[in-house]
Amino acid sequence: MARLDRTGPGTTRATPFQIMGVVNVTPDSFSDGGRYLDVDDAIAHGLELVRAGATIIDVGGESTRPGAARVDTSEEQHRVGPVVAALASAGVRVSVDTMSAETAVSAARAGASIINDVSGGLADERMPAVMADSGLACVISHWRGHSADMASRAHYDDAAVDVARELDERVSVLLGQGLTASQIIVDPGLGFSKHTEHNWRILARLDLLQSLGYPVLVGASRKRFIGALLTGDAPMESRDAPTAVVSVLAAQAGAWGVRVHDVAATRLALDTLEAWQGGADD
C-alpha cells in the first residue's frame, strides 16, 4: 500500500505503509509475558512476523508497561544484541526499542537501522548525540516520565493539541543537537502519561501530528485503552482485532506506519482496505 509521507519539512515522497512487528525479549512484557525471552525463540518470532508481512522488526529488552522497573544496560544488551544481529544478517530491517544510549550504539553496530526511543531522547542525556552520530532513522515519542510514575503526569487541556506541540518542541531541540529532519519519525506515545480518553483524542486528530511534517508511527497495539473496548476477562490476543481496525484507520489518516504484535491481522486488515480502495479505480 503506497501512501504520501514526509521525510522532513517541505518534502514528500510515496512510501509503503510500514508494519513494525514487536519482539519483546523481556520476562515481564504486558503483551506476551516473556514468551520470547529465549534468544532463539525471539529470532524465530521475528522471522515469523516478517513472513506475516512485517516490514520492520522492533526488538526491545526492557518493558515500558506502567510500573515497570528499569533494566540494567548490560542485561538489556545481552537480551537484544544477538536478536538484532541475527535478524539484520537475515536481511531484516531492525529497530531497537531502547532508552539507553549505550544499547542504541551496540544495536547499531549489530545492524539495527532504526533507534526507537520511547522517551524521545530524554531518559538518557547521551542519546541525542548517539542519534545524531548514527545517522539512523529515529522514532521520537511523546514522553513525560518513566513508567513508575507516568500516570501522575496525564494532565492535558487538549491531549491532541498538547502532544503535537510538545513533540514539535522536542524535535526542535533534537534538530539543534545535530539530528537531521530526514532522520525523524514521530510517535504520539499512546499510553504513556495518557488516559483512555487522551489516546482516542490523539488518534482522532492525527492530522495535528501530520502537520509537523514528519512520518507518524502509531503504536496502539494491545494497550490498555484498546482492552477497555472488550468485556469481561478477555485474553490479551482479543485486543488484536481492534488493533487491526486502528491500523486501518491510521493508514487512512496518513500515518507512516503502525507498531503491532499481531502482524498477520494487521496485514489482512490493510489488504482489505487496499482492495476496497482499488475497487474505486476499476
170 in catalytic set: no
Grid cell for residue 73: 544496560
Task: In whole angstroms, give the CA distance from residue 104 to residue 125.
Answer: 13
Instruction: Please answer whether residues 256 and 5 qualify as being in contact, where contact means their C-beta atoms are separated by less than 8 angstroms.
Output: yes
Task: In whole angstroms, give the CA distance from residue 49 to residue 57.
Answer: 8
Q: Which of 170, 223, 239, 267 is catalytic?
A: 223
Instruction: Please answer whether residues 257 and 233 qualify as being in contact, where contact means their C-beta atoms are separated by less than 8 angstroms.
Output: no
Q: Which of 194, 222, 239, 259 is catalytic?
A: 259
Helices (H), 53-195: 73-89, 101-110, 127-134, 159-176
Amino acid at 256: W
| SS3 state of residue 34 | coil
Grid cell for residue 92: 531484516
259 in catalytic set: yes
Longest dimension (CA), the chain: 56
Classify strands 56-60 and 94-97 as parallel, antiparallel or unpaired.
parallel
Grid cell for residue 45: 518470532
The catalytic residues are 223, 259
